[in-house]
Amino acid sequence: MVSDEQKFRAFEDGQGLATALSASIAGQLRAAIEARGEALIAVSGGSTPKRLFEALANEILDWSRVTVTLVDERWVPDSDERSNARMVEASLLQHKAADAQFVPLYVEAATPEAGIAEVRTHVGALKLPFDVVVLGMGPDGHTASFFPGGDRLDEALDVSNTAVVLPMRAQGAGEPRITFTLRELLQAKALYLHIQGDDKRIVLDEAEQPGSKLPIASVLRAGRPLDIYWCP
């Protein structure tokens, strides 16, 4: 069971989920624009969000006032099929959302460690905290680039750590990564977790057990409102 702070919404299929989640996110973005003239959203990469991004790209709102970034990125240029930015550019920054500003996390440096200072400069220009954060989750329980066994996992999950972004390396990650820290992501005004598949539901159930060491458990245990959107 999730805590009272969390809402679990189950949908019959990915399209129904995408329509509902997209409408909820668009509402948050509109409210931010109305309140302060602009909105800031961080989205996840991987393959799950594609349908959501396609739905979001058709939401009617003033996208020219929206800044989009990623919660994490694989350290590859956007010419690489593994690039999260590539997916965002192809699926989200289209149609009505073509006017949004995109701030990538990858810069042209050999490693995230070498590029982190430049990334911090770009990220430093964002008007944090985020209005909206959409997390995903891998089958190993990672979210953002908080991978089990990650070399900076403790640092990234330490909510007393004031770093905003960190490099991350882990055996299960494929390539080196860059990730927003848990502290920064938890400060979002609206926080969503978007997952698909029975396998991931089982991982989520496992993460909800007391003492779970799965990285996603740190989000579930944070005690802040979280909307979980799931479909088989």
Ligand X SMILES: O=C1O[C@H](COP(=O)(O)O)[C@@H](O)[C@H](O)[C@H]1O
Exactly one of 6, 69, 83, 84 binds ligand X (CB under 6 A); which one? 84
Q: Per CB under 6 A, does 184 bind ligand X?
A: no
Shortest spacing between CB 173 and ligand X, in angstroms: 7
Q: Per CB under 6 A, does 141 bind ligand X?
A: no
Exactly one of 104, 112, 115, 136 binds ligand X (CB under 6 A); which one? 136
The token pair that represents 61 in the structure block? 């709102």
Q: Per CB under 6 A, does 72 bind ligand X?
A: yes
Exactly one of 14, 27, 46, 232 binds ligand X (CB under 6 A); which one? 46
Rounded Cα distance between 83 and 58, Å, is: 23
Q: Is residue 69 within 8 Å of 106, Cβ to Cβ?
A: no
Rounded Cα distance between 126 and 40, Å, is: 8
- From 8-16, 90-98, 131-139, 183-191, give the range in contact with ligand X by CB under 6 A: 131-139
Q: Per CB under 6 A, does 44 bind ligand X?
A: yes
Shortest spacing between CB 121 and ligand X, in angstroms: 22
Exactly one of 45, 141, 167, 215 binds ligand X (CB under 6 A); which one? 45
Of the candidates 89, 95, 98, the residue with the CA atom closest to the CA atom of residue 69: 89
Number of other CB atoms surrounding residue 37 within 10 Å: 9
Match 């490693």 to its residue by tokens.
111
User: Residue 130 gets which letter from DSSP?
Assistant: P
Q: Is residue 130 within 8 Å of 70, Cβ to Cβ?
A: no
Q: Which residues bind ligand X (CB under 6 A)?
A: 44-48, 71-72, 84, 136-138, 145
